[in-house]
């Protein structure tokens, strides 16, 4: 990971073949990175409004100002072709069945006052979301359940790098039939929209152009991350996003070898996805316990729970470690600790 040389040793938590986990306030880490050095930042900040149940105007404004400080730091490190994808959940105002506008205020602030462009807005539907808030949805039955997050795809210039053919969606059954036998299935004709539906429409392009409505159930109950957390009696991070979400934007907006950051990395879903997709990654999380526990995303299934627990505790204690762990005879000392001790 070429940006790691800019990160102080004390902030490094672990590193893999392609990336590194850092523990710090991400604004401080971003300030240490060179200008124009990052291809994509995909992230999900804490939804402070929801957690504190303080949805008054004052806290909304404070939240917008808080995100603003990250936006400024992000803008500096992004390459001109770079993108900033921000996942924000909706919220209600306190005590009223009235929606907060905070995620729209964040968007307008980042565009009007920081200089980002809105390349496109995306929505992420979680069909498995439980109904809430209970008062308005379940008890009084006056609101529908909120199961869609907004994702602002922001760019530094008008022309961020993007290639939608890398994230094609599966064809519908109807489209598959059309491709199988275009002559039989479809009579070419003009449409009221002006689109001329020609035989070319029956060409197999490997998948359909995806829409800006993504759908990922966040039901990872059986994920390796949770299984390994459970094996060492640790609670997993409480607000992980589904791996398909960063995966979509990493494939869509970067090439292999590009640099991807997550500035609120939590359980490091983004780092794991990038490692699998061949992108360099840097994940920044201010809580050492979350940052250390996320190492379980990179350890092998064979590591016993005792050794896994010892590894997590050692990482929590400080120093930077290499993962996956190498066999003892080839394991090299790394700054801050020698993992061979654990094997």
Ligand X SMILES: C[S@@+](CC[C@H](N)C(=O)[O-])C[C@H]1O[C@@H](n2cnc3c(N)ncnc32)[C@H](O)[C@@H]1O
Give the interface with ligand X as residue ranges (CB under 6 A): 25-26, 44-46, 237, 239-241, 264, 266-267, 269, 284-287, 290
- Closer to ligand X at the Cβ: 60 or 223? 223
Of residues 34 and 46, the one with the C-beta less far from ligand X: 46
Please confirm, yes or no, whether 45 is among the known catalytic residues: yes
- Tell the smallest beta-carbon distance from residue 297 to ligand X (Å): 10
The residue among 25 and 109 lying less far from ligand X, judged by its C-beta, is: 25
Active-site residue, from 26, 45, 83, 246: 45
Exposed/middle/buried for residue 126 (C-beta within 10 Å: 0-12, 13-18, 19+): buried
Catalytic residue, candidates 26, 44, 59, 265: 44
Listing DSSP states for 253-268 in one string gives H--TT-EEEESS-TTT
Q: What is the sign, positive or negative, of the torsion defined by CA atoms of 136, 141, 142, 148?
A: positive
Q: Which residues, 6 or more positions from 67, have their beta carbon under 8 angstroms from its beta carbon?
A: 45, 86, 106, 109, 110
- Residue 45's nearest CA partner among 67, 30, 23 is 67
User: What is the C-alpha to C-alpha distance for residues 165 and 227, in angstroms, rounded to an integer?
Assistant: 34
Q: Which residue is nearest to ligand X (CB)?
A: 266
C-beta of 252 vs 264, nearer to ligand X:
264
In the block, tokens 């909706």 appear at: 90
Of the candidates 48, 44, 95, 51, the one whose C-alpha atom is nearest the C-alpha of residue 246 is: 44
**Torsion sign over Cα 112, 117, 120, 122:** negative
Least separation in angstroms between CB 238 and ligand X: 8
Closest distance to ligand X from the beta carbon of 328 (Å)? 31
The nearest distance, CB 28 to ligand X, in angstroms, is: 8
Identified catalytic residue from 39, 59, 83, 87 = 87
Q: Look up residue 69 and give its two tokens.
A: 């400080």
What's the min distance (Å) between Cβ of 274 and ligand X?
A: 13
**29 vs 81 by CB, closer to ligand X:** 29
Q: What is the set of active-site residues?
A: 44-45, 87
């Amino acid at each position: 990971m070429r940006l790691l040389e800019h990160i102080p040793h004390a902030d490094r938590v672990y590193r893999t073949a392609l990336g590194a986990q850092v523990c710090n306030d991400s604004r401080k880490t971003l300030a240490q990175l060179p200008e124009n050095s990052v291809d994509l930042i995909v992230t999900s900040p804490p939804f402070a409004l929801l957690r504190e149940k303080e949805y008054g105007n004052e806290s909304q404004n404070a939240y917008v100002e808080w995100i603003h400080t990250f936006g400024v730091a992000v803008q500096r490190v992004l390459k001109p072709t770079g993108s900033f994808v921000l996942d924000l959940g909706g919220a209600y105002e306190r005590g009223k069945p009235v929606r907060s506008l905070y995620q729209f205020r964040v968007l307008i602030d980042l565009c009007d006052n920081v200089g980002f462009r809105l390349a496109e807005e995306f929505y992420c539907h979680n069909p498995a979301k439980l109904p809430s808030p209970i008062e308005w949805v379940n008890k009084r039955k006056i609101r529908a359940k909120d199961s869609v997050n907004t994702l602002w795809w922001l760019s530094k210039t008008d022309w961020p790098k993007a290639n939608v053919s890398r994230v094609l969606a599966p064809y519908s059954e109807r489209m598959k039939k059309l491709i199988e036998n275009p002559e039989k299935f479809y009579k070419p004709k003009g449409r009221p929209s002006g689109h001329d539906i020609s035989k070319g429409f029956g060409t197999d392009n490997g998948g359909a152009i995806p829409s800006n409505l993504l759908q990922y159930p966040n039901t990872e109950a059986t994920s390796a991350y949770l299984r390994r957390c459970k094996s060492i009696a640790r609670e997993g991070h409480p607000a992980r996003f589904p791996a398909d979400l960063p995966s979509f934007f990493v494939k869509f907006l970067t090439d292999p070898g590009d640099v991807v950051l997550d500035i609120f990395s939590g359980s490091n879903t983004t780092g794991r996805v990038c490692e699998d997709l061949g992108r360099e990654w840097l994940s920044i999380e201010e809580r050492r316990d979350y940052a250390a526990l996320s190492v379980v995303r990179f350890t092998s299934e064979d590591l016993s729970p005792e050794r896994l627990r010892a590894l997590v505790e050692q990482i929590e204690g400080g120093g930077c470690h290499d993962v996956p762990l190498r066999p003892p005879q080839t394991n090299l000392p790394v700054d801050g600790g020698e993992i061979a001790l654990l094997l």
